[in-house]
Amino acid sequence: MALLQSSGIRTAILIAVCGALSNRSAAHTSKHPLLATEIKPLCGLSGQLKTTALYVKQKLNQQATYTDSITQLARKLVVYSKTRTDDDDARIALALATEAQKLQEAATRKLLTMASKGTVLAVQAGLAAGIIDDFIALVAGVTPGGTTNNNCIINKDALSGTATFTTIAEQLPGCETTEIVTTEPPAKPILRGQDFTGFNNIKTLGNAATYSQTCCKLLQHASDADLTGAGYTGNKLLVAGGAIHVTSNNIQIAKLTDLSSSSEQSVFEHAQARQQEFNAAKPEDPATTHVALYTAALTSEAVKAATDIKLQKKRRTNQEINADSALESKVKGIIGSDADSFKNTYLDKVNKETIKLPKEWELELSYNKLENLETDAQYETILLYLSKVSQNNREQACTAVRQEQKQQGTDETCEKKGTEDNYKDGCKWDGEGDNKKCVKDLDYKPKQVEEKDDGIKEEKCAGKQQEDCKSMDCKWKGENYKYSSFLVDKKMALSMDTAFKGLVEFSNFKNLFSIL
């Protein structure tokens, strides 16, 4: 909204303040009281200027609420991503959380900009209101309530009855106080902005020439040579961006262009410019956070990549992803066909996610639902717990894979060592019917035999041919098949092999739990 158009300053405001004061002969005292009913709009303008701070506060609160809303949405998505058992779903949730965090950062920057511009606007509006209030206070200073002498503001012309003036608070709302409004008055809606162009239809002040009081010392002069009166300063009385100009034989309105200084005009122009700047940074609606996130998700490289991995079951190159013209529709197929669908399906699942921690974690989350996540403390507690659980899961998963790999390797070794009637020491025949197979005998213990000094027992293996030697306790050495104590070395090698494979599997699981 425009604060004060230049034409309004030069004509309407000045007419509202001073009126068309009638010319008087210098031979007698001129009386120029002001009718309160005609200058009420001027005080209304002052009142609006003084509520500018409240207007700024309202807009900042709206932007702050939006910023908080998008922040909480980002946090919920982060938590949701960490509770997914499916890696594809986790990637998509985390990609959405990343976009929400970007929106939160942008909203915070906008909030800071609005706060800066709004502060300047409120100060500038206060200066403009001060000019009006100074004039009203000057006039009211010689205008006591009731029917007394020297009233300069009256409630009606004497022709319409006894001219009196009660108080500024009763007659001139908006000028009753010089305090800047920072809280919403009861039963009064917060202003949506200031419209200071409403003086175009203001009538000229009535001529109270028949006012019965002796005179108004503020607005009078006795003769051409004797310019007296409480309001004269350098022959001009500045009022609300204009002036009452004293000429040789009368008091008249001076145009702004006739003033020696433009400071009174510029304060309104500055306020107008500041308000235009502030209004240009419109706050976002807190109820539309899902719309903002959905819109961002459709063009997000992270969301597209996560969606592509889910559908392709592999990571394609960025070039391949960007070349896929159907990918946006695929994203919609996962998160929703439009913003409302996104809110009512995907985000609803996020909000309904159950988050229940062990009692010792002391998490107070209403109904254990993610939609009730509100505080920093709640968010931090949940993340710490999920971080602990994720680490345990990774360790358990890696251990399980290593054990499974070891068991499979051992069973395969045993399967190659014989049939039910001819299996190797350390293996056993297990299972029933067609499912019988040779597997590792976990209870197997090598036979204890006496060794010679060189650690090789000849009794069991001596005389056997290489192709006849089947015992795990024998090995071919030189020309003969001999007992071997190398079993320990075999176990060590197997352990090293298992450890290496476990390390590889841990690396694979590390990649598995790394999202994008």
Q: For helices 52-82 and 263-280, what crossing angle results, to 10°?
A: 20
Residue 397 CB neighbours (<10 A): 16
CB 18 within 8 A of CB 205: yes
Assign residue 447 a region (left: φ > 0; alpha: ψ between -120 and 50; beta: otherwise): beta
pLDDT mean for each 10 residues of the chain (516 residues): 34 32 30 64 79 89 96 95 92 96 96 94 86 72 56 63 67 79 61 45 42 48 44 40 44 42 60 85 94 96 94 90 90 95 95 90 90 92 82 50 50 53 66 71 62 45 52 50 42 43 41 38
pLDDT score, position 488: 40
Longest dimension (CA), the chain: 156
Please, are residues 159 and 223 in contact by the beta-carbon 8 Å criterion? no
Helices 289-298 + 52-82 axis angle, to 10: 50
Please tell me the pTM assigned to this model.
Answer: 0.60
C-alpha distance from residue 443 to each of 41, 294, 360, 408, 413 (Å): 103, 61, 42, 17, 17
* Structural domains present in the chain: 12-175+188-194+202-280 (3.90.150), 286-394 (no CATH)
pLDDT in tens, 486-499: 334 444 444 444 44
Distances (CA, A) of 249 to 222, 245, 253: 10, 11, 13
Paired tokens of 32: 């120029």
Q: Are 345 and 359 in contact (CB under 8 A)?
A: no
Chain CA centroid to CA 411, Å: 58
pLDDT of residue 437: 73
Residues 143, 153 contacting (CB under 8 angstroms): yes
Distance (Å) of CA 196 to CA 1, 7, 66, 405, 406: 8, 12, 29, 81, 84
* Residue 48 pLDDT: 80
CA distances from 186 to 160, 174, 181, 183 (A): 36, 16, 12, 9
**Beta carbons of 139 and 153 less than 8 angstroms apart:** yes
* Helices first, then strands: H and E counts in the chain: 15, 9
Which pLDDT score is estimated for 422?
53
